[in-house]
Amino acid sequence: MSDNQRASMELICPCCRARLTIDAELRRVVAHQPPPSPQPRSRDLARASQLLRREAAQRESHFRQSAEEERIKSQLLERRFEEALRKTKDQPVTRPTREIDLD
């Protein structure tokens, strides 16, 4: 081994996976090779697309459920009104009375 090879060592950066050549005597980086290019993320895009479709379906489901609840609520109020109207039909109509405060 030559002195040049002994004085330097090659390391791989744990963060970015770049290849670094470090001079042991100087304690400095003397060469740097960038990390390999990441593979295309088509699988991630397909997954993101799938998640977006699933979320859209959930929003649509919530909207339909909310619309159904409003329709049922409307029918419930209509039935309550009809029941109250039916109860008051049987009662005689009386004139409202006023209470007079004589203080």
Mean residue pLDDT across the chain? 85
| Residue entry with tokens 């090779």 | 33
pLDDT for 13 equals: 86
Q: What's the pTM?
A: 0.40
CA dist., res. 36 & res. 38, Å (int): 6
pLDDT tier at 79 (50, 70, 90 boundaries)?
very high
At 37-68, the pLDDT tens digits run 877 666 788 888 999 999 999 999 999 999 99
CA dist., res. 58 & res. 70, Å (int): 18
State the amino acid at position 9 in one-letter form.
M
Enclosing H/E stretch for 5: helix 3-7
Asked whether residue 2 carries a pLDDT value surpassing 60, the answer given is: no
CA dist., res. 19 & res. 30, Å (int): 11
Going from N- to C-terminal start, the domains of the chain cover 7-33
